[in-house]
């Protein structure tokens, strides 16, 4: 995709900073530690905040920073940027304002450090994505009907719906509000992999990378992979330790492969 003149020098530095951050995150979560929330929460991470509020705070920049930076862009009234913004907001409206209310999270907490790092990531990522789609990337209206854009949108939607479905399966495993137990999820993609929710989220941002045809979108896809890949492996090992009857042929993240 073409680039418009403007603040691209600063943007390019920010973009490579974003790539470096994703690489550091990958090394940390793959070789040093698992992010201490959900089943991997543990002591020694300072003070904690309630899980539901933590998720809302952590994800909220993807709504408000994205909207602010987007509307400051020179192309914010154009069709393609507008459709891309709607796709992004659809995902983050659900993640910020629907998903946290569906979790069985009463009385559970997560470290404020996790919330702060998620918040920082979402501020940075929202700037990178919004600045590209509404100010630096140049998208003619014909991009809307191009095969690449349509393919990207289709992949994004499959990932979006698959992610919600997969999270729903997990959220429905607990019978009541006070239930804190973990069970073996079953059915469809769960017969092949441990983490269909992560797999579908990765598919979603692959669709975004294709639809935006941008380095920014590709780096978002990579950072999602770098974060959720190692976490899927950790979840997978955790299930094997916890359940003697955990299905042996299930992979962690990618059917038949990994
Ligand atoms: N883009 C990114 O980089 C990124 C990063 C993180 C998360 N996410 C997305 O955010 C969503 C949530 O992520 P997550 O890491 O919290 O996912 P997760 O570990 O799979 O947990 C999702 C929810 O289901 C519950 N749950 C999971 N496995 C269960 C089981 N076997 N039995 C009963 N309940 C179970 C969890 O409860 P507990 O909390 O009590 O474990 C949690 O409420 C996912 O859709 C993920 O793709 C995206």
Looking up tokens 């941002």, which residue turns up? 205
Percent of the chain whose pLDDT exceeds 90: 86
Judge if the beta carbon of residue 73 lies within 6 A of ligand 1. Answer: no
Nearest CA owner, ligand 1 atom 35 = 170
- Compute, in angstroms, the gap from residue 225 CA to the centroid of ligand 1: 15
Cα(236)–Cα(162) distance, integer angstroms: 19
Coil vs helix vs strand at 186: coil
Q: Closest Cα partner for 119 from 131, 127, 108, 130?
A: 127
Judge if the beta carbon of residue 197 lies within 6 A of ligand 1. Answer: yes
What number of other Cβ atoms are within 10 A of residue 149's Cβ? Answer: 20
With the most atoms of ligand 1 within 8 angstroms of its CB, the residue from 26, 30, 35, 38 to mutate is 38
**What pLDDT does residue 214 have?**
98
With the most atoms of ligand 1 within 8 angstroms of its CB, the residue from 40, 122, 167 to mutate is 167
pLDDT bin (cut points 50, 70, 90) of residue 2 is low
pLDDT, tens digit, for every residue of 150-164?
Answer: 999 999 999 999 999
pLDDT bin (cut points 50, 70, 90) of residue 42 is confident
Could you give the residue ranges of the DSSP H alpha helices within 72-214? 79-93, 99-102, 112-131, 147-171, 196-212
pLDDT bin (cut points 50, 70, 90) of residue 44 is confident
pLDDT, tens digit, for every residue of 200-229?
Answer: 999 999 999 999 999 999 999 999 999 999
**What pLDDT does residue 34 have?**
87
Average pLDDT, the chain: 94
pLDDT bin (cut points 50, 70, 90) of residue 3 is low
Looking up tokens 């507008």, which residue turns up? 82
Nearest CA owner, ligand 1 atom 8 = 198
Q: Tell me which DSSP letter residue 40 carries.
A: G
**What pLDDT does residue 136 have?**
96
Whether the pLDDT of residue 247 is over 70: the answer is yes
**What pLDDT does residue 210 have?**
98
| E-only strand ranges, the chain | 2-3, 48-50, 109-111, 137-138
**Token digits for 10?**
């600063």
Work out whether the CA dihedral 57, 62, 63, 66 comes out positive or negative.
positive
pLDDT, tens digit, for every residue of 158-185?
Answer: 999 999 999 999 999 998 877 889 999 9
Mean pLDDT of 95-110: 92
Q: Tell me which DSSP letter residue 137 carries.
A: E
Backbone angles phi, psi at 7, to 5 degrees: -95, 40
100: CB partners within 8 A, 6+ apart: 51, 52, 53, 55, 56, 59
What ranges do the domains of the chain cover?
A: 2-242
């Amino acid at each position: 995709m073409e680039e418009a003149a403007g603040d691209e020098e600063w943007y390019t530095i920010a973009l490579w900073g974003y790539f470096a951050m994703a690489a550091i995150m990958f090394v940390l979560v793959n070789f040093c530690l698992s992010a201490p929330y959900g089943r991997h929460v543990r002591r020694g991470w300072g003070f904690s905040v309630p899980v539901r509020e933590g998720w809302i705070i952590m994800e909220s920049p993807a709504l408000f920073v994205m909207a602010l930076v987007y509307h400051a862009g020179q192309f914010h009234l154009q069709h393609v940027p507008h459709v891309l913004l709607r796709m992004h907001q659809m995902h983050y409206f659900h993640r910020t304002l629907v998903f946290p209310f569906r979790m069985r999270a009463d009385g559970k907490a997560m470290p404020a450090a996790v919330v702060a790092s998620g918040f920082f990531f979402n501020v940075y990522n929202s700037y990178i994505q919004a600045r590209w789609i509404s100010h630096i990337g140049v998208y003619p209206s014909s991009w809307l009907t191009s095969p690449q854009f349509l393919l990207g949108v289709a992949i994004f939607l499959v990932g979006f719906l698959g992610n919600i479905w997969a999270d729903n399966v997990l959220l429905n495993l607990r019978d009541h509000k006070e239930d804190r137990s973990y069970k073996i999820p079953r059915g469809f993609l769960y017969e092949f992999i441990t983490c269909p929710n992560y797999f579908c989220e990765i598919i979603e941002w692959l669709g975004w990378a294709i639809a935006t045809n941008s380095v920014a979108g590709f780096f978002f896809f990579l950072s999602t992979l770098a974060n959720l890949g190692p976490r899927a492996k950790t979840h997978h090992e955790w299930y094997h330790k916890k359940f003697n009857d955990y299905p042996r042929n299930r992979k962690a993240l990618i059917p038949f492969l990994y």
